[in-house]
Structure 1
Amino acid sequence: MDSAQLYRMLVFANVVEQGSLTAAADELGISRSMVSQHLKKLEQRCDTKLLQRTTRKMALTEDGQQLYHHCAELLLLAKQAEETTQPKNKELRGRITISTPICFGEKFITPHIGEFHQEFPKIQINVQLDDRRMNRLEDNVDIAIQNESHAPTDSAFIKLGQFDEYMVATPEYVKQHGSPLHPDMLLDHQWLLQTASYLPQSFLLKNSYGDTFTIKVPPFICCNSRHAIAQIAKQGVGIAILPSYLVDAEIAQGELTHILPDYHLNETDVYAIHPFNSAIPPRVKAFLEFIQLKLKTAYNN
């Protein structure tokens, strides 16, 4: 292997880790067109397509994913060699795109962005708060935080935590309408649900003895925002189904009452899903480790 081919591999690894040709060019101190030429020659030498590029996105092909795994090791070795004569605290840089459900992101992700920036001031972050599932490939998402009942099978992932969903209402609502003592009694109540229509929603309840009950209730008030549903619930309008992390404090303070606490809705796991398999770019790995620590602290509290 000649030195030119080795350099092309380092250029390729930089493009993947920086997230774009322009950012890689800035990191390497060469022009964007030169980066493009090196990639083209590398693909010709490897006789395969390594990157799928359009004006909106860039994604690794399957062959590109395999080659990047090895090129990333070369880049790491090069950086380690360079650090023997340079300071070891060289700052990470590049861009990270993160998608997360709105409530979870506002509760656990965005409050810590400032602290992450203090630690890694040259990493740019794009946080997309959206309850809809984003296409991780088309939207060029580095980390997708998703609620799943089972571990994902289509990507690499890290489990961040777990939460329950509670049925809650204000003490005033319960006093006026009565406290349900059995799932059958839930049908007589007004429901505040996260949905876009008035179609009835089905929920599975399970008690500590393993008995299961399915209830199907129509929304009295529906909304596409869990935060808004929580706000409406605190006005005493009806019973809402909300994630535990959104209502734990209100239940502890007596602002909301946990309805039928012996009956559980589905437990939901939270995963950070990424497309990098074992060759995770350092900037992405830094954020994953950072947010894991933050969420571990939050769940332990």
Structure 2
Amino acid sequence: MDKLKAMTAFVRIVESGSLTAAAQRLDVSLTAVVRSLAALERALGVRLLNRTTRRLALTDEGREYFERCRRVLAEVEEMESALTERRLQPGGRLVITAPVMFGRLHVAPLVAGFVAAYPALRAELLLLDRVIDLLEEGVDLAIRIAPLPDSSLVAVALGHTARVLCASPEYLARHGEPRHPRELASHRAVRFTGLSGAEWGFARGAESLRVAVPEVLASNQVDAVLEACRQGLGLGRFLGYQSRALEDAGQLVRVLREWEPPPVQVSLVHAQARLLSPRIRAFMDWAVPRLRERLA
């Protein structure tokens, strides 16, 4: 058994989520993939995957082996790249994830420019307003807009974005502009569920408080909440980059500025590894300074 080929096949199975998809990515038959996995499990003396007719699930041993295989294969790729021009012209598939609106505004243009500069590379951009497991879902890099807990991920700081409270000029003309967070109890709220719960937090100096604002609309899509806020349905809390265009156009007004909570950290994260693949390193070199400039 060619151990490196078997390890590669195993990693592709996990990343693809099915034996059939792995066979397509490897350009081999399904039978060859099944035999490779069976031979690898026999050689190791453990079951790596629990297989049913509907899904594959890593065993505890399979999860540990998968993470080690990725590191080993990354080291092999790095070693081979040192002997070729791939370091200068990275190739292969790069998978990046980002929050929907931030990805659309800031990441997608960078990815398009990066792929144009490196024609041997293929990129996939996943725009999701949820946190995913990079290893389990085969993602190379992620934009995270939140405080980062201690984990095995490596984070590169890009900057910060404010948490702002906005309303339309028409709404403020009808209901008045709040001067203190406690006044929000008599107002109406539209809420982006991906950012905040039913209570909104505020801080000024050493003082902090949480306020429940009567809610008239909530959505997991920020564009829908921004439009409702623009139409005067209620006050809305957003991240600074989400509302900036409407603020600049005079369609939203930022209120209670002195009570805004601390800004949120924006980071580019990847799985911990001693050696990064050339395509990941190349994208980081390309994207990090440009994203920092945008966030500045």
What is the TM-score normalised by the length of structure 1? 0.75
Find the counterpart in structure 1 of residue 257 from structure 2: 261
Among 95, 102, 111, the alignment partner of 1:104 is 102
Find the counterpart in structure 1 of residue 218 from structure 2: 222
* Aligned ranges 1:125-204 → 2 under 5 Å: 125-195=123-193, 201-204=198-201
Q: Indicate how the Cα distance of structure 1 residues 164 and 52 shifts in structure 2: closer, same or farther if over 3 A, else same.
A: farther
CA distance in structure 2 between the aligned counterparts of 1:161 and 1:231, rounded to whole angstroms = 27
Q: Secondary structure at the match of 1:241?
A: strand
* Structure 2 unmatched runs, 5+: 17-21
Tell me the CA shift for residue 151 of structure 1: 4.1
Tell me the CA shift for residue 204 of structure 1: 1.3
CA distance in structure 2 between the aligned counterparts of 1:44 and 1:295, rounded to whole angstroms = 47
CA distance in structure 1 between the aligned counterparts of 2:182 and 2:33, rounded to whole angstroms = 66
Among 242, 245, 248, the alignment partner of 1:246 is 242
CA distance in structure 2 between the aligned counterparts of 1:73 and 1:275, rounded to whole angstroms = 14
Q: Deviations over 1:97-129 (max 9, x none)?
A: 322221121121122222111012232222222
Find the counterpart in structure 2 of residue 79 from structure 1: 81
Q: Deviations over 1:258-298 (max 9, x none)?
A: 11110113422223333343332222232233221221120
Amino acid aligned to 2:141: I
Tell me if structure 1 keeps the 8 A contact 2:203–2:260. Answer: yes
Find the counterpart in structure 1 of residue 230 from structure 2: 234
Tell me the CA shift for residue 169 of structure 1: 0.8
Amino acid aligned to 2:147: S
How many pairs were matched up? 283
What is the TM-score normalised by the length of structure 2? 0.76
Find the counterpart in structure 2 of residue 62 from structure 1: 64
Tell me if structure 2 keeps the 8 A contact 1:204–1:212. Answer: yes
Tell me the CA shift for residue 205 of structure 1: 0.4
CA distance in structure 2 between the aligned counterparts of 1:254 and 1:180, rounded to whole angstroms = 18
Tell me the CA shift for residue 32 of structure 1: 9.0
Among 269, 274, 289, the alignment partner of 1:273 is 269
Q: Please report the RMSD computed on the Cα atoms of aligned residues, expressed in angstroms.
A: 3.7
Larger CA deviation: 226-235 vs 137-146: 137-146
Tell me the CA shift for residue 181 of structure 1: 1.0
2:291 pairs with 1:299 = no
2:206 pairs with 1:210 = yes
Q: Indicate how the Cα distance of structure 1 residues 57 and 133 shifts in structure 2: closer, same or farther if over 3 A, else same.
A: farther
Q: Indicate how the Cα distance of structure 1 residues 89 and 223 shifts in structure 2: closer, same or farther if over 3 A, else same.
A: closer
CA distance in structure 2 between the aligned counterparts of 1:92 and 1:149, rounded to whole angstroms = 31
Q: Deviations over 1:145-183 (max 9, x none)?
A: 222224442423333332111000122221221111111
Tell me the CA shift for residue 225 of structure 1: 1.1
Tell me the CA shift for residue 192 of structure 1: 0.9
